[in-house]
Chain A
Amino acid sequence: MGELRSIAVIAKGVWLEAVRRKDVYVLVLLCCGLIGLTMTVDFFDIEGLTKFYREIALKLMDVSTAAAVILLACRQLPREFEQRTIYPLLARPIGRLTFLLGKMAGVCAAAAFCFGLFMAIFAAGIASLGGGIGWSLFLQHAYLQMLQMLLLTTACFALSLACSPDAALTLAFLFYFTAGLLGDLSVMLYEVAGTAGRAGLWLLTYVLPQLALFDLSEKTVHFEIWPALGPGTMAALTAYALVYSLALLGLAHALFRRRPL
Chain B
Amino acid sequence: MRIPAAKILLWLSGLAVAGWLAAQVDPGRYEGGRARDEQERAQRNRSALAVMLGEFRTSASDVMFIKTERYMHGGVAFRQGQRTAAQGAEDLYATEEEEMAGHDGEEHGHSHGHGDDEHGAACASHGMPTVIPPAEKDFRGWVGDLYRAVKPWRDSSKPHIHTDGRELLPWFRLMTLSDPGYIQGYLAGGFWLQKQGSAMALDFIEEGLRKNPEAFQLHLSRGLLRLRQARDAEAGPVEESARVLFVEARDDCLRAAELGLSQRLAKVDEESGTVEDWSKYQENDLLAACRLAIILSERLGEVQTAARCRERFAALGPHLP
| Interface, chain A (partner B; CB < 8 A) | 41, 43-46, 49-52, 144, 183-184, 186-187, 190, 198, 201-202, 205-206, 210, 212-216, 218-219, 221-222, 225-226, 229-230, 233, 236-237, 240
Q: Is the CB of B140 within 8 A of A187?
A: yes
Interface membership of B150, Cβ < 8 A:
yes
Contact of B193 among A44, A212, A225 (CB under 8 A): A44
Q: Which residue of B lies closest to A193 (CB)?
A: B139
Query: How far is the CB of B320 from the nearest CB of chain A, in Å?
Result: 36
Q: Is the CB of A49 within 8 A of B143?
A: no
Known: A44-B169, A184-B132, A187-B132. A221 touches B150 (CB 8 A): no
Q: Is the CB of B151 within 8 A of A218?
A: yes
Hey, which chain B residues are within 8 Å of A226, CB to CB?
74-75, 152
Q: Is the CB of A46 within 8 A of B146?
A: no
Q: How far is the CA of A202 from the CA of B143 in the complex (A)?
A: 11
Q: Is the CB of B167 within 8 A of A237?
A: no
Known: A187-B138, A222-B74, A226-B75. A206 touches B143 (CB 8 A): yes
Contact of A43 among B151, B152, B161, B169 (CB under 8 A): B169
Q: Is the CB of B75 within 8 A of A213?
A: no
Known: A226-B74, A233-B146. A43 touches B173 (CB 8 A): yes
A-B contact pairs, 5 of them (CB 8 A): A187-B138, A187-B144, A215-B150, A218-B151, A237-B146
Q: Is the CB of A225 within 8 A of B143?
A: no
Known: A219-B151, A229-B149, A236-B146. A44 touches B200 (CB 8 A): yes
Interface membership of B133, Cβ < 8 A:
yes
Hey, which chain B residues are within 8 Å of A41, CB to CB?
170, 173
- Given contacts A41-B173, A52-B170, A187-B132, 18 further A-B pairs with CB under 8 A are A44-B193, A44-B198, A46-B166, A49-B167, A184-B77, A187-B131, A187-B140, A190-B139, A202-B140, A210-B146, A213-B143, A213-B146, A215-B150, A225-B152, A226-B75, A229-B149, A230-B149, A237-B150
Query: How far is the CB of B232 from the nearest CB of chain A, in Å?
Result: 20
Q: Is the CB of B75 within 8 A of A225?
A: yes
Q: Which residue of B lies closest to A226 (CB)?
A: B152
Query: How far is the CB of B208 from the nearest CB of chain A, in Å?
Result: 14
Known: A46-B166, A46-B196. A218 touches B139 (CB 8 A): no
**Looking at B132, B143, B147, B150, which has the most chain A CB atoms within 10 Å of its CB?**
B150
Contact of A213 among B147, B166, B169, B204 (CB under 8 A): B147
| Count of chain B residues near A, Cβ 8 A | 32
Q: Is the CB of A198 within 8 A of B139?
A: yes
Query: How far is the CB of B201 from the nearest CB of chain A, in Å?
Result: 9
Hey, which chain B residues are within 8 Å of A190, CB to CB?
139
Query: How far is the CB of B33 from the nearest CB of chain A, in Å?
Result: 22
Query: How far is the CB of B15 from the nearest CB of chain A, in Å?
Result: 20
Contact of A51 among B161, B167, B196 (CB under 8 A): B167
Interface membership of B246, Cβ < 8 A:
no
Interface membership of B216, Cβ < 8 A:
no
Q: How far is the CA of A201 from the CA of B140 in the complex (A)?
A: 9
Query: How far is the CB of B150 from the nearest CB of chain A, in Å?
Result: 6
Q: Is the CB of B140 within 8 A of A205?
A: yes
**When each residue 117-145 of chain B gets 1 if its CB lies under 8 Å from chain A and 0 otherwise, what string results?**
00000000000000111000011100110
Contact of A186 among B140, B151, B166 (CB under 8 A): B140
Query: How far is the CB of A26 from the nearest CB of chain B, in Å?
Result: 19
Q: Which residue of B lies closest to A214 (CB)?
A: B150
Hey, which chain B residues are within 8 Å of A43, CB to CB?
169-170, 173
Hey, which chain A residues are within 8 Å of B163, CB to CB?
222, 225
Hey, which chain A residues are within 8 Å of B191, CB to CB?
none
Hey, which chain B residues are within 8 Å of A212, CB to CB?
147, 151
Q: Which residue of B lies closest to A219 (CB)?
A: B152
Interface membership of B30, Cβ < 8 A:
no
Q: How far is the CA of A218 from the CA of B140 in the complex (A)?
A: 21
Query: How far is the CB of B134 from the nearest CB of chain A, in Å?
Result: 11
Hey, which chain A residues are within 8 Å of B147, CB to CB?
183, 210, 212-213
Known: A205-B143, A216-B150. A49 touches B166 (CB 8 A): yes
Contact of A201 among B139, B171, B198 (CB under 8 A): B139
Query: How far is the CB of B256 from the nearest CB of chain A, in Å?
Result: 24
Hey, which chain B residues are within 8 Å of A229, CB to CB?
149-150
Hey, which chain B residues are within 8 Å of A215, CB to CB?
150
Query: How far is the CB of B237 from the nearest CB of chain A, in Å?
Result: 28
Hey, which chain A residues are within 8 Å of B196, CB to CB?
46
Q: Is the CB of A221 within 8 A of B169?
A: no
Hey, which chain A residues are within 8 Å of B152, CB to CB?
218-219, 222, 225-226
Interface membership of B71, Cβ < 8 A:
yes
Q: How far is the CA of A153 from the CA of B167 in the complex (A)?
A: 36
